[in-house]
Structure 1
């Protein structure tokens, strides 16, 4: 779990900014200009209410304004009543234009914000995929999935949208307050200071509560994904054991906590609104009473009251919107920090290389006194491993469970860098700078084959875009993996859908697809990690025989529990407790096995 710290919102936003693309930054600049235009339109629409209402109450006063009198003379208007319709149209047009600009601003803010969210989500996914194998196996996949699928989206709702709303709200507030101050400075300043003080007090009292709820929201969001993965991922055992209620309870606990935090943040964000609206009405009522007591009476107070009422009607939602944006950012601070930490994952130098140039490999693979220890362990998993594998050799690796076989394979594939010693290819050491060039030679067939919910052909050519799949190469690979006969007997042939994780296929078919996948890659080093364990003896013999008939330059490294799987190996390496016990031949292994069975 990524651990949230007490990093301030401002620092988080500074860390987020470098991950915004230049294209989006330009769009933000245009958006800021649109905010300014909207603010000016707001000033005009509020400022226009005063002369409009003045005309409605005392139209003859219009002719006292030199500019209006000059325009009226030019238009041959002598009766002030004739100005009412044009002024009504102009005031209505100003209101419509202002509303239209606010709608345009909302559309632009929303589209840009979600476009930024898509950029960030893609960036998080890309950076996560490029992390070293050691990082991948050390973190919880459910938390990572929650980070990519949920927390990247929360950046939009907890950072991008609130910041844009605060920026536009600030400009709108400046415009509205400036207009109201021009009309009635004392009342305008008192209202703004009063309402601002109320929101300030609310912020002071709720910020710690919002932080706590945000932390709980962050934790429970990952727990929800984890509960779903565990229940649905092990659905066969769940159905057999009848443990649906157990997993429902786990999910319920996580989801209820998640929803409760969401609800609390929403309540805190929206509750001040009602008190502020009530206070606004009280303020207008007392102001009306005060203005009506003046010599001009109610008729003189109507234009000013109208302008102040319209200003308050604009001002209060913007204040509430600003507060809601702040509380949303505060409540989502932990989510935002997690997302930023995922965005700050380093990319390797080869990330922008389409295809790495393969490392020269003509002679041998050498492990030279290799030791390895996982960061979370105190004891070495491998200790002083040394052996050489000539190019074109067929090598078997045997050993009991936990002896270190899989770790040796990971080191050979360049997935793990030795703690001590080195992996050398033709006398060139494999390091963090060239391991991708070595991996260009390798195909891996694990014991558990991952199959995507797509066609057989797409699974054999795994990772190749659909329009670039070489179907003849797919067929050849399937034949070599002893799978073509089965596939071609199905109604849809190579277009047959395998189902999620290959659920519609047998275990043997899934493993043969994995073997075909390795052969499709045309690698010159194939590593089998218990890859034929689901095959019957006859099929296994056919597959291994087909592999043996391939190019003599093909290097095959196999880990197997069944000794017969390794009968074609030129050498067998026996591992025990992370050390090489012996390097021998198949016949010697058989003799040892037989002697043990007799005793």
Structure 2
């Protein structure tokens, strides 16, 4: 499991980070050697404490004693104690430095993976988001990447560091007493291995369940706050709190189980280690070893245990964390492996010189029958074209194809005779201003929402005011206490529906695009404001291409061309009066049966 996981992690690291990981290895080995030297310096000190005269007679200690010119055992003892302490301080100081390097590397990787994953998601084609759970995408970025870093990458690094330390300490013990050292090592290793073999499948199951439960938690939060108005009106607050509570409670229980499994061996083996030291003392004394002989050896084993036990325990915890969090690593691998469908940067607008053309276009959503078939349409530059029809007829799908958000299942969408493809679609989209029925507003100022994504220092004040005036928003902004710097709230909740829609229209016009698309964009406006917006659009006649998906048929009366979409195809097209005279389907939209519901201003309710 360990080598395979290490290879999977290395495959996810970019070359610079991979090189950093390789450089960490010698630093960890050096840390292990220094810790072992720290352990080794304890034995000479204790030997002199136990029997100063005999210790100085030792070949190595005696050589140091005479070489440094000591004349008494007290000063020599002080020297050995100070040297042992200095090595320990140096060893621990270097361990702190290596810990800093490990954490800096891990958290840097956390940042890089989170950024890469967000870029990977936003680089997916629009069609992928039609079936995506956005709460899960957010969870993957913020939670699962951190889970991989804290429970897979960091434990893997700690495992290597602790393994090097454990091997060094065991090697020292082997030099002192090979049989006893190997016996202790085998006992410790076997005990931890046995516990891991017992719990490994449980850890894997718990990790997979944690992944699923966390998704439920995030979905409950996303839905509750995203639809807070509906939740409150329907009185469903308790439903979402209960849904979150159940998932959160299970998440806590799973985490508790995993953490307990981590530390179970520690307490049992501490008892075994302490008991083992007592047995060693008794065995040595029983075989006629003197206290002076036993004390340095026991001191060495006690200090070695002080170093070895935490190292082995941390290795076990690292392995259990790895096993528990491997499902998160699988999520990261899966989602980073999907190639981006679009470039993330804003391209230079390509503009529109002649016409937009759809040639025998058809489209089917994945797993569904065709939504559009046999669409042939030419939209000349600076013309106004409207799409009307009943609900589900395919109007918005048709507009999404023109926008380049969807790729035709058959046929082609051409701009100035060039088919839209991955190479040119970003430039085309930069040439289009888009206003949807449900205007998206960020939690920022009026100016930030109109300029949308443009850094504050680069906002064009003249373009800002021009767009606001064209959207009939300028007088409203003038009444605000902070003007264009007024905060609109999350999703524009501090604004009325009409104000949000006009702000979205101003955003679409900010870059002065040659093409503007209104997808049910005037449905939330009152008649007076709608008329003002239409006057602004009519002022664009001959200077801008306008595409409209209409809710109110009065909106499209002045369009050059109206396309009636039914059953996924264009069944009639022409000017308003021509369609009224020749198309029964269009007349049915304009003049619905008496029982049909009428709009708040007495207008027929058209199709979304």
Shorter-chain TM-score range: over 0.9
Match 2:399 to one of 409, 428, 435: 409
Residue in structure 1 matched with residue 155 of structure 2 by the alignment? 162
Q: Which runs of 5+ in 2 are unaligned?
A: 582-586, 596-608
Q: Distance in 2 between matches of 1:287 and 1:219?
A: 50
Residue in structure 1 matched with residue 599 of structure 2 by the alignment? none
Residue in structure 2 matched with residue 196 of structure 1 by the alignment? 189
1:32 aligns with 2:22: no
Match 2:175 to one of 182, 192, 206: 182
Q: Distance in 2 between matches of 1:141 and 1:436?
A: 23
Decide whether aligned partners of structure 1 residues 26 and 392 sit closer, same or farther in structure 2, where only a CA change above 3 A counts. Answer: same
Decide whether aligned partners of structure 1 residues 223 and 388 sit closer, same or farther in structure 2, where only a CA change above 3 A counts. Answer: same
Q: Which deviations, in whole Å up to 9, do the C-alpha atoms of 1:364-388 show, x marking residues without a partner?
A: 11111111111121x1111111111
- CA apart distance, 1:68: 4.3
Residue in structure 1 matched with residue 111 of structure 2 by the alignment? 118
Q: Which runs of 5+ in 1 are unaligned?
A: 1-7
Match 1:371 to one of 344, 353, 362: 362
- Which of 249-258 and 587-596 deviates more? 587-596
- SS of the aligned residue for 1:290 comes to helix
Q: Distance in 2 between matches of 1:66 and 1:173?
A: 29
CA contact (8 A) 1:147 1:342 kept: no
- Which of 294-303 and 565-574 deviates more? 294-303
1:561 aligns with 2:551: yes
Match 1:571 to one of 561, 575, 583: 561
Decide whether aligned partners of structure 1 residues 595 and 404 sit closer, same or farther in structure 2, where only a CA change above 3 A counts. Answer: closer
Q: Distance in 1 between matches of 2:309 and 2:283?
A: 22
Q: Which deviations, in whole Å up to 9, do the C-alpha atoms of 1:53-86 show, x marking residues without a partner?
A: 0000111123324554455445442222321111
TM-score (norm. length: structure 1): 0.95
Q: Distance in 1 between matches of 2:62 and 2:259?
A: 54
- SS of the aligned residue for 2:421 comes to coil
Decide whether aligned partners of structure 1 residues 349 and 474 sit closer, same or farther in structure 2, where only a CA change above 3 A counts. Answer: closer
Q: Distance in 2 between matches of 1:161 and 1:33?
A: 17
Decide whether aligned partners of structure 1 residues 195 and 598 sit closer, same or farther in structure 2, where only a CA change above 3 A counts. Answer: closer
1:89 aligns with 2:77: no
CA contact (8 A) 1:442 1:527 kept: yes
Q: How many residues align?
A: 589
Q: Distance in 2 between matches of 1:507 and 1:110?
A: 48
1:108 aligns with 2:101: yes
1:381-420 equivalences in 2 (<5 Å)? 381-420=371-410
Q: Distance in 2 between matches of 1:69 and 1:13?
A: 48
- SS of the aligned residue for 1:515 comes to helix
Residue in structure 2 matched with residue 287 of structure 1 by the alignment? 280
Residue in structure 2 matched with residue 546 of structure 1 by the alignment? 536
Q: Distance in 2 between matches of 1:477 and 1:167?
A: 60
CA contact (8 A) 2:125 2:405 kept: yes
CA RMSD of aligned residues (A): 1.8
Q: Distance in 2 between matches of 1:344 and 1:13?
A: 18
- CA apart distance, 1:289: 0.7
Q: Distance in 2 between matches of 1:16 and 1:134?
A: 30
Q: Distance in 1 between matches of 2:434 and 2:314?
A: 55
1:217 aligns with 2:207: no
Decide whether aligned partners of structure 1 residues 45 and 598 sit closer, same or farther in structure 2, where only a CA change above 3 A counts. Answer: closer
CA contact (8 A) 1:405 1:559 kept: yes
Q: Which deviations, in whole Å up to 9, do the C-alpha atoms of 1:30-74 show, x marking residues without a partner?
A: 322221221111111111111110000111123324554455445
TM-score (norm. length: structure 2): 0.93
Match 1:252 to one of 237, 245, 249: 245
Residue in structure 2 matched with residue 499 of structure 1 by the alignment? 489
CA contact (8 A) 1:291 1:298 kept: no
